[in-house]
Amino acid sequence: MNLCDVKTIKQLMAMFSLNFRKEFGQNFLTNISVVEDIADNCCDDSETTILEIGPGVGSLTRELAARYKHVVAIEIDHGLIPVLKYTLDEFKNVTVINEDVMKLDLGEVLAPYFESGKVSVCANLPYYITTPILMKLLESGLPFEYITIMIQSEVADRLCTAPGSKDCGAITAVLNYYGAPEKLFKVGAHNFIPAPKVDSSVVRIKLHKDKPCKPHDEATLFRTIRAAFEQRRKTLPNALSAVFGELTKEELTAAVTECGHPENIRGEKLSTEQFTALSDVLYEKIQNKQ
């Protein structure tokens, strides 16, 4: 069964009386070699369990199931569940869950798989919710080995640019705190049905087992990054003052200069390590005031 064949996808949709649901970001892959490349490169150990978000009609799911120990596939669209039952029938190592991934307790669902070995994530993510899903995976604190996701090319470029470079955003700095992102390859819009308006790219993130940055307080680190990028045209002390109301402008300026930066620096120039150092100084100043 070639689930990337456009005729087969259309036949399946008709057989189960389904339409492509735009509100769920349903753009299904139609190029089997792209699907194989994603499955081949999403992790390096066949004894791994893969969490797939949004299996669609099951094209990537089948390739993952053929290569890895187990696949847990979360699909929001209940209409696709009978399709997946049909297309994945021959695979005994696939568990399909009909849920919104944003509502699911991933720790609970994946506990037995973490207990018995490694777990990685592999997904062609729906565009409308890419960042919230990625943040949920990272903030879950679950020890995934790799997170491999297909996302809009523009977002992939922002994730994979060097922190401190002009294209980076808050997500770049936060992502580099959790792991090392790498852009694997680009996938043109013509490889999907229906074709989206923009091209996609596959990004693989290797999660740090031991994070190189160890802030005194994670929440203060994320506040510092958010402040810097929310007002990226402002100087860093000014941008910080919008978020750190408990510190005076003088204290914020002192924190920036104590870290060795000129006071007119913009926050977007900082690396994740520099954000961590700054957040430690800010955290101490806040503690000293209490």
Q: CB nearer to ligand SAM: give 63 or 280.
A: 63
For 32, counting Cβ atoms within 10 Å of its Cβ (0-12 exposed, 13-18 middle, 19+ buried), the class is middle
Among 55, 169, 181, 267, binds ligand SAM (CB under 6 A): 55
First to last CA, the chain: 65
CA–CA gap between residue 52 and residue 110 (Å, rounded): 12
Interacting span for ligand SAM (CB under 6 A) from 39-47, 48-56, 226-234, 263-271: 48-56
Q: Which of 128, 182, 179, 180 is CA-nearest to residue 152? A: 128
CA–CA gap between residue 122 and residue 71 (Å, rounded): 10
Does position 63 interact with ligand SAM (CB under 6 A)? The reply is no
Q: Which of 92, 174, 185 is CA-nearest to residue 135? A: 174
Q: Which of 175, 259, 238 is CA-nearest to residue 211? A: 175
Q: CB nearer to ligand SAM: give 54 or 164.
A: 54
In contact, 87 and 117? CB cutoff 8 Å: no
Among 12, 39, 75, 164, binds ligand SAM (CB under 6 A): 75
Does position 54 interact with ligand SAM (CB under 6 A)? The reply is yes
Among 43, 56, 134, 152, binds ligand SAM (CB under 6 A): 56
- State the angle between helix axes of 32-41 and 59-67 in degrees (0 to 180), rounded to the nearest 10: 40
Among 5, 25, 142, 286, binds ligand SAM (CB under 6 A): 25
For residues 87-116, which are near ligand SAM according to CB under 6 A? Answer: 100-102
Does position 122 interact with ligand SAM (CB under 6 A)? The reply is no
Instruction: Tell the smallest beta-carbon distance from residue 29 to ligand SAM (Å).
Output: 4
Residue nearest to ligand SAM (CB): 54
The residues that touch ligand SAM, with contacts defined as CB under 6 A, are 24-29, 53-56, 59-60, 74-77, 100-102, 124, 126, 129
